[in-house]
Chain A
């Protein structure tokens, strides 16, 4: 009982610190709502759409509001936790839910990592380092900027990290195995990438324990009893469960796999170029944590278990670099791990950079233990570690200054009934992001106006809308009657022209042609966009 109060105080301190840090790190997520979607890249808009659409997507079958009129299967979804969250909180505005998930996710994940560090022998407040390294790294910044808020809500990997580490000790109990299995299952359903991280962690830490002859057979069997059914269920769903398409495109060439990998520079401080467009792929882990890991051999010496964690962390770092190593001006070199890209199923790991979540956890746990040991030589001497960590997270890491936002809701011209076709350029030379942005904005608008769209949501390169546009543009070359007929055949009630995004000659041609459809279009300058809505008149019945 005497030890319970300081332990409780430590847990309360970390909960408060992480809650505060989460609000600051993700600002202005705390202000997200009907007027504001927080995120920098276009995927944030797709996530908001998924959250709003969750109840009807979970109902199974095709989504009636996208891929109009046939409906669309849901594809390319990495997480199975986003849909239940969206359905459970369907009473909330989806943009607000998106922001809340980010804040709660950061705080909960950090808290879980800190508790795992305490379980591995770290003491408060030094255990806080584990939570900051795991949940406030460049990986979290990337998830926030790109809008992958589900990646932030991950107490599962820390649970697995702690419980499986306990299974590798002589005093392990079956409950540790069950907890490890639960952690793996939670990580897998949160994201396939986190599932891969969890599986590799189990292999590395388990192999080290086997080598020492300390792996608990009862713990391992208990873990397997939970993890195996979860993995089978995941694979069944990925193979086409009710209402879902294939889990997403697989990458079958080394170059594309390399594009989703962490370059050596992405492990360093995030630069302005990282955020310029499309994605904000930074892996950056706090220098303070990495420095502490660097002195672990000196400080932790013969303490058990930390070497396996460092080995696992290094393995994840190596794998995150992908099959090609980019060495700045020296160019790209084939990595020693490149052969792994040829393994069956390796193509599903389209973004190897995300495997660095494993490094963030393992290095954070070791760093917290090292800091605890260093503080035994004088807490005040080690106190600047806390300041250095905060500088790493909030200054070097650049958050929350890097975060952007989009206007929420939808322009008023979307009010009405029937399907809406957003007419925006398919591609603008090297600025493909604009096609992704306009499509994703259209999806986010739909989360507010609720009218069917011919395109797919979230954005896909093979968006059906582009095919519809091409057909309509062909119809434009013919008679006005042909255009009207083409729109009616597709059961389109409104065409919204994203006029400014077209080059002047195309814009004039489109505006002239659409005046035949509706001579009195409604214009909007809301949401930072210039849009014109043309109502398609119904066919006159003979």
Chain B
């Protein structure tokens, strides 16, 4: 049984991408952490240098506490309906990403947007299929290469 007196801390990083077009100074997050109400302000000022670039339209903040399995959240952003829900955590560090859907609603994102790529899954898929092509080429060389042909 995991008792919490000697349990390690749990960090949950929340990132909301609004894009540069939407003007906002900060976003507010309300959370429940093991029976306590928590308020968090997400900023885009580069205050978390490892995770945030000032002015890139991605608002970042961190919650910390005792290990948590299910995190109830409410995220409020300007010109968008608030996002409410419960998120399953895995610990000891979780990153939760949100973005704006095409119709302007906040929604959970799969991965942090990577540069100009529209689909955040794309880098992983490109790497995977690139590897597949490499393996296929090698196997074809083995099968059709000069030594085999002899």
- Distance of B11 from chain A, by nearest CB (Å): 14
Contacting residue for B142 out of A374, A392, A410, A503, CB 8 A: A374
Interface pairs A-B: 10 shortest CB-CB: A269-B128, A528-B69, A409-B1, A295-B143, A530-B35, A291-B139, A287-B132, A500-B32, A407-B2, A273-B110
B1–A526 touching, CB < 8 Å: yes
Bound form: Cα–Cα A407–B68 in Å: 10
- Distance of A386 from chain B, by nearest CB (Å): 12
B35–A429 touching, CB < 8 Å: no
Contacts of A409 in B (CB 8 A): 1-2
Contacting residue for B139 out of A292, A438, A525, CB 8 A: A292
- Interface: B22 (CB within 8 A): no
Contacts of A441 in B (CB 8 A): 69
Query: Can you list 12 contacts pairing A with B, beta carbon distance less than 8 Å?
Result: A40-B90, A268-B128, A272-B110, A277-B88, A287-B132, A287-B135, A287-B136, A291-B139, A374-B143, A385-B142, A406-B69, A428-B85
- Distance of A455 from chain B, by nearest CB (Å): 18
Task: Pick from A378, A382, A530 the residue with the most CB of B within 10 Å.
Answer: A530
- Interface: B117 (CB within 8 A): no
A500–B128 touching, CB < 8 Å: no
Contacting residue for B108 out of A276, A381, A382, A525, CB 8 A: A276
B55-91 residues at the A interface, CB under 8 angstroms: 66-70, 72, 84-86, 88-91
B-to-A contact residues, CB < 8 Å = 1-4, 10, 32, 34-35, 66-70, 72, 84-86, 88-91, 108, 110-111, 120-121, 124-125, 127-129, 131-132, 135-136, 138-140, 142-144, 147-148
Also in contact, A528 and B68, with CB within 8 A (given A388-B135, A500-B32): yes
- Interface: A260 (CB within 8 A): no
Task: List the A residue with the shortest CB-CB distance to B143.
Answer: A295
Task: List the A residue with the shortest CB-CB distance to B124.
Answer: A271
A236-294 residues at the B interface, CB under 8 angstroms: 268-269, 271-273, 276-277, 287-288, 291-292, 294
- Interface: A299 (CB within 8 A): yes
B138–A388 touching, CB < 8 Å: yes
Contacts of A370 in B (CB 8 A): 143
Task: List the A residue with the shortest CB-CB distance to B147.
Answer: A377
Bound form: Cα–Cα A380–B55 in Å: 53
- Distance of B6 from chain A, by nearest CB (Å): 12
Known pairs A295-B143, A500-B35. 11 more at Cβ < 8 A?
A: A268-B125, A268-B129, A271-B110, A291-B132, A295-B142, A382-B142, A396-B131, A429-B85, A434-B88, A528-B66, A528-B70
Also in contact, A529 and B70, with CB within 8 A (given A273-B110, A378-B147, A500-B32): yes
Contacts of A268 in B (CB 8 A): 125, 128-129
Bound form: Cα–Cα A411–B139 in Å: 54
A-to-B contact residues, CB < 8 Å = 34-35, 40, 268-269, 271-273, 276-277, 287-288, 291-292, 294-295, 298-299, 370, 374, 377-378, 381-382, 384-385, 388, 391-392, 396, 404-412, 428-431, 433-434, 437-438, 441, 499-501, 503, 523, 525-530
- Distance of A433 from chain B, by nearest CB (Å): 7
Task: List the B residue with the shortest CB-CB distance to A370.
Answer: B143
- Distance of B148 from chain A, by nearest CB (Å): 5
Bound form: Cα–Cα A409–B136 in Å: 47
- Distance of A375 from chain B, by nearest CB (Å): 9
Bound form: Cα–Cα A39–B52 in Å: 32
Contacting residue for B1 out of A34, A273, A277, CB 8 A: A34
Contacts of B70 in A (CB 8 A): 434, 437-438, 500-501, 528-529
Task: List the B residue with the shortest CB-CB distance to A288.
Answer: B135
A269–B143 touching, CB < 8 Å: no
Contacts of A500 in B (CB 8 A): 32, 34-35, 70, 72
Contacts of A525 in B (CB 8 A): 4, 34-35, 66
A271–B142 touching, CB < 8 Å: no
Bound form: Cα–Cα A407–B7 in Å: 12
- Distance of B70 from chain A, by nearest CB (Å): 6
Task: List the B residue with the shortest CB-CB distance to A500.
Answer: B32
Contacts of A392 in B (CB 8 A): 131, 135
- Distance of A201 from chain B, by nearest CB (Å): 25
Task: List the A residue with the shortest CB-CB distance to B141.
Answer: A381
- Distance of A393 from chain B, by nearest CB (Å): 12
Contacting residue for B2 out of A377, A381, A391, A527, CB 8 A: A527
Task: List the B residue with the shortest CB-CB distance to A292.
Answer: B139
Contacts of A295 in B (CB 8 A): 139-140, 142-144
Bound form: Cα–Cα A431–B3 in Å: 27
Bound form: Cα–Cα A271–B120 in Å: 10
Contacts of B132 in A (CB 8 A): 269, 287, 291
Contacts of B84 in A (CB 8 A): 429, 503
